[in-house]
Amino acid sequence: MVEHMKWWGWGRESVSFSHGDKPELAPFIRTHIGLDITRPPAQAPAFADLDVAEPTLPEPLRAALVEAVGAEHVHTDTLDRVIHAYGKSLRDLVRIRNQDLGRLPDVVVYPGDEDAVRAVLTAALDADAVVIPFGGGTNISGSLEAPRDEIRPVISVDLGRLDRVLDVDTDARLARVQAGALGPHLEEQLGAQGWTLGHFPDSFSHSTLGGWIATRSSGMQSDKYGDIAEITRAVRVVTPAGVLVTRPVPSQSTGPSVREMVLGSEGRLGIITEATVQVHRVPEERVILGYFFPTWDDALVAMREIAESEAQVTVTRVSDANETRFSFATRKKGSLASGLVSSGMKQYLRRVRKWDLEQMCLSFIGFEGSAGHVRAQRKLVGEIVGRHGGLCVGTGPGQLYDQKKFDTPYIRDFLLGQGAVADVSETATSWSTLAPLYRGVVARANKAFEEIGVKGWIMCHLSHSYHSGACLYFTFAYATPITLDAIVGYDTVKSAIQQGFIDLAGTLSHHHAVGVEHASWLADDISPAGVSLLTALFDGVDPGRNLNPGKIIPAGSPPALSPAFVAHAVETAVIDAVVDAGVVDQAAGTEAEFGAAEIAAARVVKAEAVEPAVVEARVSTESPAEPAASAEPSEAAGGVGAAAAAGRAAG
């Protein structure tokens, strides 16, 4: 039996967030977003009240799916379909709490091996059905939902039965793992043999290896173990062309990396069934220390110097002043961190160190390895921290962070129930642009709060340090009625932050993927030519757009013949035809097939290799158009651009 999260929120039904044992949290939230969290929360929606459309599942397709996976693993019940309709983004949860279920899958299938996955995909393609792979359901970028206007049958392929570690090569330090393995179960299997993957994303408790690969996930200890793109050495993917298999070699020169194409593909190329991943021996010693820095700028410089140094840390995380204050507000009474900001500590920092406590930042840095290695690394990092005014505050804060690191999504759900939107956006940028990007995004978020008329809160932490830069992870919140209208204001704030990433030299996402949430910024991030290459790849593999359509490249996008890529060849062919026709007509002394303006434009384009739109503007000012006597109306009106468009349509 495959376990799933609750259909209307994050995590298990039995787990929830409570503020009762955190005496500072309610006053903090009341002060900063004007919300009273001591009142009774809104009740979870009643499943019986949902208006669920009947599935559209032709009998031949049902029979083929039963043949593929067995009748007991073909589910059309309402609960399974609702669970698989969305991921867990803020938008998803607002919609589902308001009984907006979108386009539900018509059927959920649970294949037990790769052969069954192949049979499911074959059946789907034969029936022209849509296939959406499903791992743990934690995605927050809209990667799991079907397009609302999809009229074909929609199949959710849940990989939960493919959950085993198949083999560990102890010499190569590689493990073969099925794609449906959830994080805890994967670590349990590896740990029993003395190994760890070292990949611990926020979603670890409920996400799968296949989902990590499909979204280019990053874990909290990526400073040592790498992102999932580095951890994944080989993949097996069921595609319309057959099973894609790559070799688990340390490096190769075999053209563009097919493995890399699968990473971050979000189901657009096929269904990941297995991966070979790097594993490491479970370390002898593991410790996470807490540090204070006087300011955010001091902390950023220290993190950069740690990245530049010989230090080999597992975690580098530092919260800005706002997130530090929020962290203090969430402390339990009598917890390991309760003495961190005792009156004595405050007096010391204020009077002796001369700190402004409103600007103080909390950091966590992790160390692993032998006792001697950890000791040496702690010393080296301590020296760097000290040079920038930092102070080590021991293992207590680190232990608390380690215990609670996967709990943040429960806080978001709690706030939703109390009447507040809370969400995240993350990016990566270089060390040289980190501070300006941070300041610019905070300013844009605050301006967006003003625009929608709310008292908002934004905070940030740095994580995932690299040679040339780091990830910045922003969290924002504000009070608002949780109706479908809340999405309008949310989009204003979210878009301001995302556009800030693009304008200020960041990327649209460091580890949350594209999905539908971030697709509108993709061309700005990877260029129109990059989008055209991806479109050509997706359409080449999946010309019927049966594989998770609308993700990464929006569903309404044109096929692979897009302006920045294939269109250039089509334009050239049409231009040649125009020039040739003009020359022949003029030499024969007959009426031209094309007008003088079209021929002039075509010649300039051919000679100078510039964009037709630019040439059309130039010709209109330099050479007044002369209407052609025998031109077709569409060609005479549209010139070279219209002729090229006709060529694209014909091609």
Catalytic positions: 473
Is 203 labeled as ligand-binding? yes
For residue 124, what are the contacts with CB-CB under 8 A and spacing of at least 6?
61, 130, 131, 155, 546
Is 367 labeled as ligand-binding? no
Cβ-contact 292, 366 below 8 angstroms: no
Is 215 labeled as ligand-binding? yes
Is 218 labeled as ligand-binding? yes
- What letter does residue 152 receive in the DSSP assignment? S
What values do phi and psi take at 109, rounded to 5?
-120, 150
Q: 3-state DSSP helix/strand/coil percent for the chain, to nearest 5? A: 45, 15, 40
Residue pointed to by tokens 């301590």? 382
Is 618 labeled as ligand-binding? no
Is 271 labeled as ligand-binding? yes
CA distance 426 to 411: 18
Is 268 labeled as ligand-binding? yes
Is 204 labeled as ligand-binding? yes
Residue 294, classed as helix, strand or coil, is coil
Cβ-contact 124, 131 below 8 angstroms: yes
| Token pair in block for residue 436 | 């300006």
Is 270 labeled as ligand-binding? yes
Residue 163, classed as helix, strand or coil, is coil
How long is the chain? 651
| Token pair in block for residue 400 | 């608390």
Is 501 labeled as ligand-binding? no
Is 216 labeled as ligand-binding? yes
Torsion of CA 305, 309, 315, 316, to 10 degrees: 0
Is 269 labeled as ligand-binding? yes
Is 331 labeled as ligand-binding? no
Is 365 labeled as ligand-binding? no
Is 363 labeled as ligand-binding? no
| Token pair in block for residue 123 | 């059946």
Is 208 labeled as ligand-binding? yes
Long-range contacts of 452-459 (CB under 8 A, 24+ apart): 452/489, 452/492, 452/493, 454/33, 454/478, 454/479, 454/480, 454/489, 455/32, 455/33, 455/34, 455/479, 456/33, 456/493, 457/32, 457/33, 457/322, 457/326, 458/322, 459/319, 459/320, 459/322, 459/323, 459/326
Annotated binding site: 202-208, 215-218, 266-272, 412
Known binding positions for substrate:
412
Which parts are annotated binding residues for FAD? 202-208, 215-218, 266-272
